[in-house]
Structure 1
Amino acid sequence: MTIDYDVVIIGGSLAGYYAALAATELRATVALVEPKVNYGFIHHYALSKIGKLAQQLGDATGFGIHATHTNSSEKCHISLAWQEAMLYAQSVASNLEEQYSPAILAARGVDVIVGSGQFQSSPQLAFALNNRLLLARTYLLASGSRPEIPEIDGLEATGYFTLSNIWQFLNGATSPKNWVIIGGIPQSIEIAQTLARFGYNVTLVVKHRHILPFIDPELAILLQAQLEVEGVRVLTEKPVIQVRRIEGKKWIQAGDKAIETDEILVVTGQQPNLESLNLASVDVKWHRRSLVVNDQLQTTNHRIYACGDVIGGYDFANIANYEAKIALKNALFFPKLRVNYQSIPWAIFTVPMLAQVGLTEAQAKRQFGRDEVLVLRHYFKTVTAAQLQNETTGMCKLIVLRNGEILGASVLGAEAGELINLIGLAISQKIKVEHLANLSPVYPSFSEILEQTAREWSQQKLNSNVALQEFMEGFLHFRRNWNL
């Protein structure tokens, strides 16, 4: 059997591109199939940034961007801000397209093959497309995902939008003003705040107790309060039962509430792009939301690996790239590396930003016991840089063991994405919390909050030692009296 490549990467996701370039750095022969990236997510991040700028400008001019204002000045303001956002997003997407163009990839040593194909197992494992068989030692699935649509009575008949098509529809001043967003995942939180900042009336419907059930509840409540301050109506513990169109309006039944709206945006999760790959013929198992992989990111076919959206979880680019590195090295060399998400941070691009790494307070106490875990908190309102930039909303929360080992952290506030990277590094290198307390960051800077939060460890440890000493003294006093 003649092998064409060391690895064939199937899918034009950003993780696929990342893996292809990483393979060339490892001196592997690599082919990338179907390099068609959807850059719609760039519009989302760009609009979040422009939404923040528009809000600041509105505050400065005195009228702001709020749905209750309908004068011509505000409409013009919203329209201009929206146009600026779209131009900014298109510029960033254009730069990315240039960076990952077939010509650039080919110059780096990637064999770019455009087209759709599928696996075949006979007479040998191969990937077939364009009347050609791609033979490789290993294969990497990085085909990305698409919005998953929940089964809700009447949703299809009534009509809805997803993040993949909403940007072409919105134009700031003339699009419908009332929106209901179904979903409690990071992207639904981000788009709810962005639309509210551009003057839309937004209702966010979440079936869980908090807006983000997998994050620390303390910070979830703070973020929810921030959304509500900005005009987002948040309904928690309200599963959507049915959707109907009545007299030209769309109605949503969410729990015991009936909500009238102009349009519906569904942001409940992602579904992997796998159906056309003929995976059953090569013994690769998968569910509706993800492939079945082991901790080496190997599918049920030992020569096929996977990374990114196709293995489930939330859509975070840095986590997909981390998985791509692990899967690629295991595919090309010996499969000995295992994924460990303990020190891999992620962030939600709200304002203020929410970022997390490692274990939450509840997870740490379940795993190590309540008495062994210390929770350290500090608030942005005491940080000089936050006061100077009027970014005082938020808190830093460190989860540590009594011996100073850092188990996790959650940060809600300005520059949270940069701060969480430092904590992630500390966890990966087993740097204890007392070293963060000795950080001595540039003053003024937001890194101050890490130093100030870490200092709480020595104080809590001292308090716990005093309490223990008092308990022992009381116990000994009781023993002496009992012996008498």
Structure 2
Amino acid sequence: MSFDYDLVIVGGDWVGRSAAAKAGRLQARVALVEPESAFQPIEIQSYFLGMGSPVLRSVQNLQSDGVTRAAAQWQTLLETRSTLTAALASNEDVGYSHTQLAALGVDVIQGQGQFERESTPVSRSPRSFAFLVNDRILRSRNYLLATGSIPILPPIPGLESVNYRTIDSFWQNPWQTLPTKLVIVGTDPRGIILAQTLNRLGVHVTLVTQNVQLLPNADRRAVFLLQSLLEAEGIDILTQTDIRQVKPNSTQLSLQLATQDLEAEALLLATDRYPNITALNLEAIGVQHHARGISVNTLLQTTHPHIYACGEVLGGYALPNVAAYEAEVALHNAFLSPKKQINYNPIPWAVLTDPPFVQVGLTEQQARNAYNDVQVLQQGYKSLVNAHIQGEPIGFCQVIVRSGGEILGVQGVGVNAQEWINVMALAIERQINLNAINSSAFVSPSFSEVISQVIQQWKGARLPPKGNWQNWLGFR
């Protein structure tokens, strides 16, 4: 069978274009198929708010002209988002416009397509299929699915009778006038970031989740601090809570919970998501998927060995660095040998609240389930000179280690935590233990010094009993 392309990328979000650009630079024959819908050059729909959120602290709790000033700040944020989107779209290292992709040799096709079995003498071969789009048949050695995800609507009685928003529809048509009361359902990190930003603009926000905590799979201590900070700012957080019914009530919404009723002007769904694959006809070629994403092996191959997947179609949170890593692995395995296996353990992730939440590797509970010599080290920001200089003393770093200094996981909340977590992620990936990191001299004053202070704490705990080292010194 002859092939038109080495790789056909079925895209729809920024990671598809990024993968197409990387494949084009390898001088592969690449086609990118994506719908004609609006495109974000990178996942900024909520994360850019994390950059502007500290500025909004001054708007909190304003009286008299506070509403006017908050409204102006909101309009400024919307304008900033539009400007940033345009700037990233024109940046050849980030945006990857159709013109830029064409210059790299990528054949860009706009339209909605699907996989089709071909009726040929070799139709029983696992390779006897193609991708059909705009009456064109695309045959490729390999395919990459990067179509993103769509929100799952929770089964709340009465939901269809009210005017709700999802994370996606919110950014497609943002409010020009902010509501006074907002209920956000679910724990998508983008919803948490949006909750903090809108709260600082004077909106009374209530976060509702069925889980025992925000970010249910994250370290409980770090999440507890994040929740406490959000509640201290005035956000109501209701965990282990189901919404039994929602109904319109004059100009507001009424939400019936198990123990109370809520009144709000607006409802935002930040709930689980489903891979955007309905129109692809994957069943015809034997690609399996489940309720949250496409099934893949450690090579990121689907149940068809010549079809790979990356990004939000695999399930989980919409994390740009994770999607980029998955695309890198999938491209390597589509073109090169030996094959590379996906390893999520050293990949950090963050929720860009103010201050940010960060995590990499195992949580304490996961570590204790796997090892019997686990030590938990914690260091607060109050011991950092830079934290006091910048007026940001609230935060901490937690490091999970084994007795010999092997780093199993790191979590934390604090200003600039999204920077120092990368150091610890590299240490986990390269299997660098605390002793080796101890030989480094961190810039001072800096927030990264929290790492060196954790190491000093670990070293102090390893000193022999006082009498032993005094006897040794006396012998000397």
Question: How far apart are 1:20 and its partner, in Å?
Answer: 1.0
Distance in 1 (alpha carbons) for counterparts of 2:47 and 2:348: 18
Of 82, 85, 88, the match for 2:80: 88
Number of residues of Structure 1 aligned to a counterpart in Structure 2: 452
1:20 is aligned to 20
Percent of aligned pairs with the same amino acid: 40
Distance in 1 (alpha carbons) for counterparts of 2:267 and 2:198: 13
AA aligned to 1:157 is S
2:134 is aligned to 130
TM-score, length-scaled by structure 2: 0.91
Deviates more, 1:350-359 or 1:18-27: 18-27
1:185-224 pair list within 5 angstroms: 185-224=188-227
Question: How far apart are 1:239 and its partner, in Å?
Answer: 1.9
CA contact (8 A) 1:52 1:197 kept: no
| Local SS of the residue matching 1:320 | helix
1:170 aligns with 2:175: yes
Question: How far apart are 1:106 and its partner, in Å?
Answer: 0.8
1:65 is aligned to 60
Of 267, 284, 290, the match for 2:287: 284
CA contact (8 A) 2:67 2:202 kept: no
Distance in 2 (alpha carbons) for counterparts of 1:343 and 1:41: 21
Question: How far apart are 1:112 and its partner, in Å?
Answer: 0.9
Distance in 2 (alpha carbons) for counterparts of 1:194 and 1:102: 33
CA contact (8 A) 1:50 1:81 kept: no
Question: How far apart are 1:43 and its partner, in Å?
Answer: 4.1
Distance in 1 (alpha carbons) for counterparts of 2:435 and 2:256: 51
1:262 is aligned to 265
Question: How far apart are 1:12 and its partner, in Å?
Answer: 2.5
Distance in 2 (alpha carbons) for counterparts of 1:436 and 1:383: 18
- After superposing on structure 2, the runs of 4+ consecutive aligned residues of structure 1 that deviate more than 6 Å are none
CA contact (8 A) 1:13 1:37 kept: no
Distance in 1 (alpha carbons) for counterparts of 2:406 and 2:130: 47
Cα 1:185–1:12 change in 2 (3 A) is closer
2:3 is aligned to 3
1:231 aligns with 2:196: no
Distance in 1 (alpha carbons) for counterparts of 2:71 and 2:428: 45
CA contact (8 A) 1:14 1:37 kept: no
Of 147, 150, 154, the match for 1:150: 154
Question: How far apart are 1:46 and its partner, in Å?
Answer: 2.6
Question: How far apart are 1:466 and its partner, in Å?
Answer: 4.4
Question: How far apart are 1:235 and its partner, in Å?
Answer: 0.8
CA contact (8 A) 1:437 1:452 kept: no
Of 278, 303, 306, the match for 1:303: 306
Distance in 1 (alpha carbons) for counterparts of 2:327 and 2:393: 37
CA displacement, residues 433-480 of structure 1 (integer Å, 9 cap, x when unaligned): 123333211111111111001211112233xx649x9xxxxxxxxxxx
CA contact (8 A) 2:6 2:141 kept: yes
1:332 aligns with 2:335: yes
| Local SS of the residue matching 2:261 | strand
Distance in 1 (alpha carbons) for counterparts of 2:448 and 2:102: 41
| Local SS of the residue matching 2:213 | coil
Cα 1:420–1:131 change in 2 (3 A) is same
1:181 aligns with 2:190: no
| Local SS of the residue matching 1:411 | strand
Cα 1:250–1:41 change in 2 (3 A) is farther
CA displacement, residues 81-108 of structure 1 (integer Å, 9 cap, x when unaligned): 1122111111111122223210011112
Distance in 2 (alpha carbons) for counterparts of 1:330 and 1:157: 47
Question: How far apart are 1:257 and its partner, in Å?
Answer: 2.1
AA aligned to 1:303 is H
CA contact (8 A) 2:14 2:39 kept: no
2:109 is aligned to 113
CA RMSD of aligned residues (A): 1.8
In structure 2, runs of 5+ residues without a counterpart are 120-127, 469-476
CA displacement, residues 157-206 of structure 1 (integer Å, 9 cap, x when unaligned): 123111122243323xx332100000123122111111101110000111
1:32 is aligned to 32
AA aligned to 1:65 is Q
AA aligned to 1:42 is I
Deviates more, 1:136-145 or 1:35-44: 35-44
1:392 is aligned to 393
Of 354, 358, 362, the match for 2:361: 358
In structure 1, runs of 5+ residues without a counterpart are 59-63, 470-484
Structure with bigger helix share is: 1
Distance in 2 (alpha carbons) for counterparts of 1:424 and 1:163: 29
1:34-49 pair list within 5 angstroms: 34=34, 38-39=39-40, 41-49=43-51
Of 366, 371, 388, the match for 1:368: 371
Distance in 2 (alpha carbons) for counterparts of 1:361 and 1:49: 29
